[in-house]
Amino acid sequence: MWPISRIWKKLRTRLGISRVVLVQPGVYGTDNRCLLDALRRLTPRVTRGIAVIDPAITTDDELHTLQRLGVVSVRVNLNVKGRGDAAPAVRAMSQTPGTRATLWPPACANGLPGCGSARHDS
C-alpha cells in the first residue's frame, strides 16, 4: 500500500494541479482534526487549509497552531449558535498575522452589506 502523500502527489500530477486548498466542511463544525490530519499527511509546500473556529472559545495558541500546520484562513458561521456579533471573530483573526477570515452573520443570508471577508496582513 502506498502512503497517502505519494497517492496525493500522483493524483495532483495526473490532474495538473500545482496547489491545493482543503476546506473544513460545515458538518464537522469547529472540530478541525480531520483537516489538520490531512494537512500533516499531504505535501506541505502545496497544500493549505481553511478551518472553522468559534471565536468565543478558540484560543490564540490554537490559532497559531492552525497557522503553523498550514491553515491560511478561518471561517466563522455565526448562524450556527444564533450569534450575530462578528466582533469576537474579527478580534480572534487580528491576533494571527497573515490569516484571512470569512464571516457569515445572520444578515448575510439576506445579502445585506457588511458581509464577506476580512484580511490581516501585518
- Give the chain's mean pLDDT: 76
All domains in the chain, ordered by first residue: 19-120 (3.20.20.140)
Per-residue pLDDT tens digits for 45-61:
889 999 998 877 888 89
CA–CA separation, 17 and 7 (whole Å): 13
Per-residue pLDDT tens digits for 58-104:
888 998 899 999 998 888 776 655 555 666 666 666 666 666 666 55
Single-letter amino acid, residue 89: A
The pLDDT value recorded for residue 116 is 52
Residue 27 cell numbers, joined: 458538518
Count CA within 13 A, CB hemisphere, residue 68: 6
CA–CA separation, 112 and 105 (whole Å): 10
CA–CA separation, 63 and 99 (whole Å): 10
The pLDDT value recorded for residue 37 is 92
Can you list the positions of beta strands (E) in 54-108?
A: 71-77, 99-104
